[in-house]
Amino acid sequence: MSLLPCSLPVGGATAILLRYLRDQNRPHSAQDAFGNLQREHGLGKTAVVKALEQLAQQGKIREKAYGKQKIYFPDQDQFPAVSDSELKALDNEISELSSKVQTLQQNCRHMESELKDLNGSMTTPEMIKEIEELKKDCASYTEKLERIKSAANHVTPEEKEKVYNEKKLYCKEWRRRKRMATELLDAILEGYPKSKKQFFEEVGIETDEDYNVTLPVAV
């Protein structure tokens, strides 16, 4: 790993590290201390390592090795003794604060969910615009319905049924005659030396297909 240059002498680094470890009062590795103090104080990795080793040799902090890694923490003798009742009070405070944190996290998740729903919904101006457009559509359909109701040329159900039956009758007759004509033409074409198209042209036969007419499907 490359080492960043140290912008402070080891003497200045030791004062910063000693104050930091006492304020934090928890174990730190050299990498932890470097990462937390480098940006604010411009400490290089080499200066941090040397300062921690110097403080440990002077007995101002404690050093413990875990495999290849060393951790450093302030000497606890410098801190006042804490009674059992004080420890219990601190434990209770930690428990209360943990409960508050949990509650706040749940509230935060709930609010994030509400915010997501709101972001996916229309804004008030968009809703107003949508309502106005729907009112216009409603008015247009109402006017159209009134025109239909007031029209004088209504078709009665009997007239509609009559037209429907006549359509069925004419389509049936159309289908029957087309089948007869097809059978007749097929019989003639069996002995005709030319193509079907040439025969139709010579005789002058016009088909439904010539006029893009399609026989309705039988109902």
DSSP-H helix ranges across the chain: 10-24, 30-41, 45-57, 84-119, 124-150, 157-189, 196-203
Buried (b) or exposed (e) across 173-186, using 16+ Cβ within 10 A? Answer: eeeeeeeeeeeebe
> What amino acid occupies position 11?
G
pLDDT band at 1 (very low <50, low <70, confident <90, very high): very low
Q: Decide if 64 contacts 39 (C-beta within 8 A).
A: no
41-99 pLDDT, tens per residue? 888 888 888 988 998 898 888 888 888 888 898 877 777 776 788 878 888 988 999 99
Find out whether 58 and 74 touch, Cβ atoms under 8 Å. no
Question: pLDDT grade, residue 142 (50/70/90)?
Answer: very high
pLDDT at site 10 = 61
Phi/psi-derived region of residue 105, left when phi > 0, alpha when psi is between -120 and 50, beta in every other case: alpha
Flag whether the pTM goes above 0.85: no
- Of 78 and 19, more confident: 19
Q: What is the pLDDT of residue 123?
A: 85
* Position 11 pLDDT exceeds 70: no
Mean pLDDT of all residues belonging to the chain: 84
DSSP string, 109-123: HHHHHHHHHHHTSPP
